Structure 1
Amino acid sequence: MDVLDLARTQFAVTGSLHFLFVVLTLGLAPLIAIMHTRYAVTGKPVHERATRFWGQIYVINYALGILTGLVMEFQFGMNWSGLSHYAGDIFGAPLAIETLGAFFLESTFLGLWIFGWHRLPRWLHVACIWVVTLTAYASAFWIMVANSFLQNPAGAVERDGHLVLTDFGALLTNPTLTMALPHVLGAGLWTGGFVVMGASAYQLFRRTAEREFFTSSLRTGVITSLVGSLLAVGFGYAQFGVIAAVQPDKFNGGGLAGLGLGLMIMIGQLIQLLILFVLAPTVYWLPRWRWTHPVLMAITPLPFVAAILGWLARESGRQPWMVNGKLTVADAMSPGLTSGMVTVSLVAFAGVLALLAVIDYVLIARTVRRGPAAVTLGADAPADPTERAHALSH
């Protein structure tokens, strides 16, 4: 491969691996916030245990996802300085807002939530996880604003050899954003629901002593998957009209974009039919049917596969443009790159991200296997019983 193909491959590999973490984060965050709210309202220990168990899985995925995101940031400066020069004033602004606003707020309040168990007043503690959820969604919004600008550079004109923003409102109401964002958020709920469902099925298949806990969790996973699939599939099809208007030849050429799109649609339709006509109608009995649990475990990776295929279809279908109709991928590359340089960075970055993905899987699998009794999140209660009582009563 030449240097351009190597650079594109590097971004595709690292972007795909990073998105695996992102899509699970978007799916689990609202579930944990709802679980914690139920605990705050009812005071029932079962909701506290659910919040802590699934919350620990969220924290593991979030922490390792941050590291993969840092690798993504390096690539813009190393390989794509032409993009920064030509469209950095516009493309960089949403990324800066996401980093300085949403990301730092999310990390700060997640830290407060992690270490606030039995210390913060009850409703303040709940507020922390809701801020985490809202800022996670805000991060997704600003990332999609930046990506949608590459798909359709709305509100920008070229002056003196680079793009200048003339209409901020057009940037935020870009049609490639308004339909794609709900699709991505739905994919997140779909993925989070499948992970909860698959992990619960694993424990139930093992005849766990925590049968009531994982029965409730499996039903939660099915319902969440139903909501997520309706959003993902519905807004997925809704995008075709937008794509036809701004990128009429996106999928006509076939190749990776057409293949990825076709496989994504096939997986999405298959699982939506499965959820609508099999899982949702039998959600009450499903935890008791042990023969179904291996099937639920086997289909758990499918939303991840569909998410990666969708991302590849969205990006590769824009070729040869980096900024659609304005800047080609070749012109966006940094000058002076050699095949050797990109090959070394490709191997290094892909190796690091693959290792992080494996560590993420191992840690989450270990947490699932050990069950809620072994969870460490929120287990460090204050030594002073008076302090604990005060925190729980507010």
Structure 2
Amino acid sequence: MDVLDLARAQFAVTGSLHFLFVVLTLGLAPLVAVTQTLGVLRNDPLLLRMTRFWGQVYVINYALGIVTGLVMEFQFGLSWSGLSHYAGDVFGAPLAIETLVAFFLESTFLGLWIFGWHRLPRWLHLACIWAVVLTAYASAFWIMVANSFLQNPAGAVERGGRLVVEDFGALLTNPMLTMALPHVIGAGLWAGGSVLMGAGAYRLFRRTAEREFFTRSLRLGVVVATAGSLLTVGFGYAQFSPVAQFQPDKFGGAALAGAGLGFMILIGQLLQLVLLFVLLPTIAWLPRWRWAHPLLMAITPLPFLAAMLGWLAREVGRQPWAVYGRLTVADALSPGLTPAMIITSFTAFTGVLGVLAVVDYLLIAHIVRRGPAAATLGAAPLPEPGHAAALSL
């Protein structure tokens, strides 16, 4: 493999690993917010315990996902300086907004939510998690604005050998964005719902004492995964129209992109049929059907696989363009790179992201195995030492 192929492979692998964290974050955030909202409105202790438990899973995934995002940022400076030079004034703007506005706000509100249990008024604490959801989705919006610009450089003109923004509104209403964003949001809900479904099936299969807790989790997961599948598949097919208009040779000229796309559609359609016509109609009995629980656990990773294949199809199908019709991938590559340099960074980045992905899913599995009784997020604070001593007297 030459330098260009190595750099492309590096970005594909690291981008795919990072996307695994992203889809779970986008799926779990609204689930946690909805369970807390219903728990507060109904004064339901079980729903609030579900909020704490799944919120802890969300926080772990979010924290480790931040590091994988930083690795992605490093690559633009190390391997793709040609892209930064030619299109950085346009491509960098939504990324900067995502970092400075959405990401920092999201982190701030998430910190208030994590440490605000038993300290903030319940309605203010509830508002914090909804702020986390809104800023997480705003973050996804700006990332997709940047990516859609690479797919179709709308709103930009070339001046002095560089792209500059001419129409910011056109950048935000890019046809390659309007259908892709709901598609990604649906994929997140599908993945988040599948995690609840799979974890609930696992604990029920093990005959847990927390039967009602995981029965509700399983049923909520099936409903959310089904809704996510409808969004994902519907807006996935809706993307064919803008793709045919702006990238007519996207899948015809790239065999690899066509095979990513084909497997994604196959997985998505089969899972959607199972959700709509098997799991959703039997949702009342699923928690009691122990024979079905291993099957639910087995299909839990499939939405993540489909999401990764979808990302690869979107990116590989753009080749050989970094900015479609304007800048080739070869011209976007940083000058002076050697195979040894790329192999070194490839090994380091893939090693870091791979370890983080393994740690993330091992921690999540550990939390699921221990159950809600071991959740530390939002636990009641311990009494003050002096107060405890007085009580003992």
Question: Could you say whether these structures have the same fold, taking a TM-score greater than 0.5 normalized by the shorter chain as the test?
Answer: yes
**CA–CA separation in structure 2 for the residues paired with 1:353 and 1:366:** 20
Residue 390 of structure 1: aligned partner:
none
Whether the 8 Å CA contact 1:157–1:166 is kept in 2: the answer is: yes
CA distance in 2, matches of 1:70, 1:164: 25
Distance 1:266 1:343 in 2: 34
TM-fit CA distance, 1:253: 2.1
Deviation at 1:254, TM superposition (A): 4.0
Q: Distance between the aligned counterparts of 1:253 and 1:167, measured in 2?
A: 31
Structure 2 residue 344 is the aligned partner of structure 1 residue 338? no
Aligned counterparts of 1:123 and 1:338: Cα–Cα separation in 2: 56
Specify the alignment match of 1:130 in structure 2.
130
1:259 aligns with 2:259: yes
Distance 2:254 2:159 in 1: 34
The aligned runs of 1:303-314 (5 Å cut-off) are 303-314=303-314
Distance 2:164 2:64 in 1: 36
Cα separation, 2, equivalents of 1:63 and 1:126: 20
Which residue of structure 2 lines up, in the alignment, with residue 352 of structure 1?
352
Please list, as runs of the form range in 1=range in 2, the aligned pairs for 1:68-147 lying within 5 A after superposition: 68-147=68-147
Q: Secondary structure of the equivalent of 1:354?
A: helix
Describe the superposition over 1:236-270 as per-residue Cα deviations: whole angstroms up to 9, x where unpaired: 00000110000000000242100100000000000
Unaligned 5+ runs, structure 1: 385-394
SS in structure 2 of the partner of residue 118 of structure 1: coil
| Correspondence list, 1:1-394, <5 A | 1-381=1-381, 383=383
- Is 1:320–1:328's contact at 8 Å kept on the other side of the alignment? yes
* Other-structure match for 2:388: none
Q: Which runs of 5+ in 2 are unaligned?
A: 385-393
2:116–2:125 contact (8 Å) kept in structure 1? yes
Distance (whole Å) between structure 1 residues aligned to residue 363 and residue 216 of structure 2: 23
Compute the RMSD of aligned alpha carbons. Answer: 0.8
Deviations 1:223-242 (A, max 9, x none): 00111000000000000011
- Deviation for aligned residue 1:44: 1.5
Per mean C-alpha deviation after superposition, the further-off stretch among 169-178 and 375-384 is: 375-384
C-alpha distance in 2 between matches for 1:79 and 1:250: 24
Please tell me the residue identity of whatever aligns with 2:294.
P
After TM superposition, give the deviation of residue 382 of structure 1 in Å. Answer: 6.0
Letter in 1 for 2:21: F
1:102 and 1:10 mapped to 2: Cα distance?
Answer: 27
Report the secondary structure of 1:158's partner residue.
Answer: strand
Cα distance in 1, alignment partners of residues 309 and 255 from structure 2 = 13
2-structure distance, mates of 1:301, 1:44? 31
Give the letter aligned to residue 68 of structure 1.
Answer: T
1:392 paired residue number:
none
- Report the Cα offset of residue 304 of structure 1: 0.4
SS of match in other structure, 1:164: strand
Instruction: Give the counterpart letter for 1:241 in structure 2.
Output: S
Aligned length: 384
**Paired AA for residue 65 in structure 2:** G
TM-score, length of structure 1 as denominator length = 0.97
Please report how far the alpha carbon of residue 383 of structure 1 lies from its aligned counterpart in structure 2 after TM superposition. 3.1
Distance 2:42 2:190 in 1: 27
Does the 8 A contact of 2:191 with 2:225 survive in 1? Answer: yes
For 1:77 and 1:7, how far apart are their aligned partners in 2? 12
3-state SS in 2 of match to 1:163? strand
2-side partners of 1:118 and 1:39: how far apart?
A: 15
Letter of the 2:2 partner, please give it.
D
Distance in 1 between the 2:302 and 2:31 partners? 20
Identity %: 77
CA contact (8 A) 2:254 2:316 kept: no
Query: How much has 1:37 moved relative to structure 2?
Result: 0.8
Letter aligned with residue 65 of structure 1? G
Question: For residues 220 and 23 of structure 1, what CA distance do their matches in structure 2 show?
Answer: 18
